[in-house]
Amino acid sequence: MTKSMNMKNLDSQNLESKNPHLANLDSKNLNPKNPHNVESCSSNCDCVSNTEDDFVKFTEEMKETHTILVPTMLPIHFRFMVNILKSYGYKAELLQNHGTELAQEGLRNVHNDTCYPALLVIGQLIDALKSGKYDLSKTALLITQTGGGCRASNYIYLLRKALKKSGFGDIPVVSLNFSGFEEGQAFRVTMPMLKKLVNAVIIGDVLMCLLNQSKPYEINAGESDELVSKWIERITDESQSKALVDFGALKKDVRAILNDFGKILRNNEPKIKVGIVGEIYVKYSPVGNNNLEEFLLSEGCEVVVPGFMDFCLYCMNDVMLENRLYGGSFAKKIIYKFIYNMFVGKQKTIYKMIKKHGIFTAPTSFEHTKKLIKGYVEEGMNMGEGWLLTAEMLELINSGVNNIVCTQPFGCLPNHIVGRGMMKVIKEKNPQSNIVSIDYDPGATKVNQENRIKLMLANAKM
Instruction: Give whichever of 47 and 257 is closer to ligand SF4, judged by the CB atom.
Output: 47
Instruction: Give whichever of 90 and 116 is closer to ligand SF4, judged by the CB atom.
Output: 116
CB of 72 to ligand SF4, least distance (A): 16
Instruction: Give whichever of 204 and 414 is closer to ligand SF4, judged by the CB atom.
Output: 414
CB of 19 to ligand SF4, least distance (A): 10
CB of 444 to ligand SF4, least distance (A): 14
Instruction: Give whichever of 2 and 241 is closer to ligand SF4, judged by the CB atom.
Output: 2
H or E, element range at 275:
strand 272-278
Nearest to 408 by CA among 430, 385, 427, 381: 385
Instruction: Give the binding range for ligand SF4 (CB under 6 A) out of 36-44, 51-59, 248-256, 405-413.
Output: 405-413
CB of 432 to ligand SF4, least distance (A): 29
Query: Cα separation of 372 and 31, whole Å?
Result: 37
- Residue 369 near ligand SF4 by CB under 6 A: no
Contact 430, 397 (CB under 8 A): yes
Instruction: Give the binding range for ligand SF4 (CB under 6 A) out of 45-53, 122-130, 211-219, 407-415.
Output: 407-415
Of 115, 162, 208, 303, the residue at the interface with ligand SF4 (CB under 6 A) is 115
CB of 1 to ligand SF4, least distance (A): 4
Of 69, 150, 202, 309, the residue at the interface with ligand SF4 (CB under 6 A) is 150
Nearest to 189 by CA among 85, 73, 86: 85
Amino acid symbol at 132:
G
CB of 248 to ligand SF4, least distance (A): 37
Of 279, 318, 379, 439, the residue at the interface with ligand SF4 (CB under 6 A) is 279
Instruction: Give whichever of 18 and 77 is closer to ligand SF4, judged by the CB atom.
Output: 18
Contact 117, 439 (CB under 8 A): no
- Residue 409 near ligand SF4 by CB under 6 A: yes
Of 95, 412, 436, 457, the residue at the interface with ligand SF4 (CB under 6 A) is 412
Contact 125, 168 (CB under 8 A): no
Instruction: Give whichever of 151 and 283 is closer to ligand SF4, judged by the CB atom.
Output: 151
Residues 6+ apart with CB under 8 A from 52: 33, 34, 182, 184
Q: Fill in the DSSP letter of residue 216.
A: G
Instruction: Give whichever of 35 and 117 is closer to ligand SF4, judged by the CB atom.
Output: 117
- Residue 204 near ligand SF4 by CB under 6 A: no
Query: Cα separation of 47 and 375, whole Å?
Result: 36
Task: Burial-class residue 451 by CB neighbours within 10 Å (0-12, 13-18, 19+).
Answer: exposed
Residues listed for the chain = 462
Nearest to 73 by CA among 193, 208, 257, 269: 208
CB of 121 to ligand SF4, least distance (A): 11
Instruction: Give whichever of 111 and 271 is closer to ligand SF4, judged by the CB atom.
Output: 111
Nearest to 300 by CA among 438, 462, 437: 462
Characterize the bridge pairing of strands 173-176 and 139-144. parallel
CB of 415 to ligand SF4, least distance (A): 5
Characterize the bridge pairing of strands 91-94 and 173-176. unpaired
Instruction: Give the binding range for ligand SF4 (CB under 6 A) out of 83-91, 145-153, 357-365, 417-425.
Output: 145-153
Query: Cα separation of 290 and 268, whole Å?
Result: 28
How many Cβ atoms from other residues are within 10 Å of residue 186's Cβ? Answer: 15
Instruction: Give whichever of 2 and 289 is closer to ligand SF4, judged by the CB atom.
Output: 2
Of 18, 77, 151, 266, the residue at the interface with ligand SF4 (CB under 6 A) is 151
Which 3-state string (H, E, C) describes 136-181? HHHEEEEEECCECCCHHHHHHHHHHHHHHHCCCCCCCEEEECCCCC
Sign of the four-CA dihedral 108, 114, 116, 122: negative
Of 25, 68, 121, 152, the residue at the interface with ligand SF4 (CB under 6 A) is 152
Instruction: Give the binding range for ligand SF4 (CB under 6 A) out of 6-14, 18-26, 326-334, 413-421.
Output: 413-421
User: What's the gap between Cα 78 and its chain centre?
Assistant: 10
Interface with ligand SF4 (CB under 6 A): 1-2, 115, 117, 150-152, 279, 384, 409, 412-415
